[in-house]
Amino acid sequence: MSEISADLLEKALDQLSARGYAVLENVLDGDEVAHYRALLDDLFARERQAPFEPEDGAAAPEDDEMERFLRQSYDVSEAELQRIMRRIRHTRALNGDTPWPVPPQEVTKNFLHLPTLFDQDRSQRIWQLVDKTPDVGRLIEHPVVLQLARRVLGSDCVLADASATSIGPHTGGGAWHVDVPLGQLPEPLPDFPLTLQNVWMLDDFKEANGATQVVADSHLTRRKPVWGEEQQEATLLESPAGSVSICLSNTWHRSGPNATDDPRREIICYYSRAWIKPFTDYVSSLDEDVVKTFSPQLRYLLGFSAHPPRRG
């Protein structure tokens, strides 16, 4: 599906507004799914073998509290936890050893390193996906999803982040949550969406392998779910590989438990209103020669001409 009919677009928008989520099936064909699956499998394997490991930085009094927060929030191995702490210290050193003025649970996740390996290293994320495989740009500006994003967030919306996730076999599922920046906002949450997440399904999403779960209508509560608390009214977003699910940022959602012997893989593209600070700074991270290959539309979505200029 390279385009979306006006009728299907309106139905998807109505579903998003009323229930907080929508699913469009078979947007990618089998060859496209196989292409992106192969790209990700290579990246997953390479990053497991050689994870990004910068220099360390100086310890600080708040490090113990940060480590406790990460242990409580994620099912993370000791090796991955210590790698994250080294990254946090290194990034802090690059920022003049400037501490946060709030405790870890109040730090916006835009500014915080998160686990790359989780579920005791059985599940994995790929950050900075556009930098590592620029071909994902075709999904970012895919007309089916981009039309929806622009109708929900405005025609000047931008991409906040693109990442990939592999939910590992025999894992217990994620915690119910709303997306950045809502997790750090006081309740009641805004009564309009700030961001929009879409998940490109590279495997068949089924209950058995951890299909995404949502709580329908939860975006209307203007509340956040309690971290770690179960929800009785979960809706499974089961669809074949090549489908895409779209979820408002204030809809409660999580990855389900994977009871199979195989990983469940996805690409996540995350759009935001133009005035919200993106999760990823592509303007400073992307290679200039790669940027030149992108369309003007994709460059704008990645933040070019969409950030404050240097004045004077």
Q: Name the DSSP class of 182.
A: G
pLDDT along the chain (312 residues), means of 10: 81 96 96 98 96 91 95 95 96 95 90 95 97 97 96 97 98 94 91 96 98 97 88 92 96 97 98 94 95 98 92 88
Residues 228 and 108 grouped into a single domain: no
Residues 80 and 152 grouped into a single domain: no
Residue 69's domain comprises: 53-115
pLDDT value of residue 1? 62
What tokens does 74 get? 């994620």
* 258 is a domain residue: yes
Q: Name the DSSP class of 208.
A: T
Q: What are phi and psi of 271, to 5 degrees?
A: -100, 150
Residue whose tokens read 């994003």 = 149
Residues 80 and 183 grouped into a single domain: no
pTM reported for the whole predicted model: 0.95
pLDDT tens-digit map of 58-107 = 999 999 999 999 999 999 999 999 999 999 999 999 999 999 999 998 89
* 21 is a domain residue: yes
Residues 289 and 205 grouped into a single domain: yes
Residues 82 and 213 grouped into a single domain: no
Residues 175 and 60 grouped into a single domain: no
Please tell me the total count of domains within the chain. Answer: 2
Query: Strand 117-118 vs strand 244-248: parallel, antiparallel, or unpaired?
Result: unpaired
Chain centre to alpha carbon of residue 92 = 23
Residues 59 and 196 grouped into a single domain: no
* 168 is a domain residue: yes
Count of Cβ atoms closer than 10 Å to residue 101 Cβ:
7
CATH code of the domain containing 277: 2.60.120.620
| Rg, C-alpha atoms of the chain | 19
Separation of alpha carbons 59 and 86, rounded Å: 9
pLDDT value of residue 310? 84
Residues, the chain: 312
pLDDT tens-digit map of 173-207 = 999 999 988 888 899 999 999 999 999 999 999 99
pLDDT value of residue 184? 85
**CA nearest neighbour of 139 among 283, 302, 10:** 302
* 120 is a domain residue: no
pLDDT value of residue 233? 87
* 215 is a domain residue: yes
Separation of alpha carbons 26 and 174, rounded Å: 26
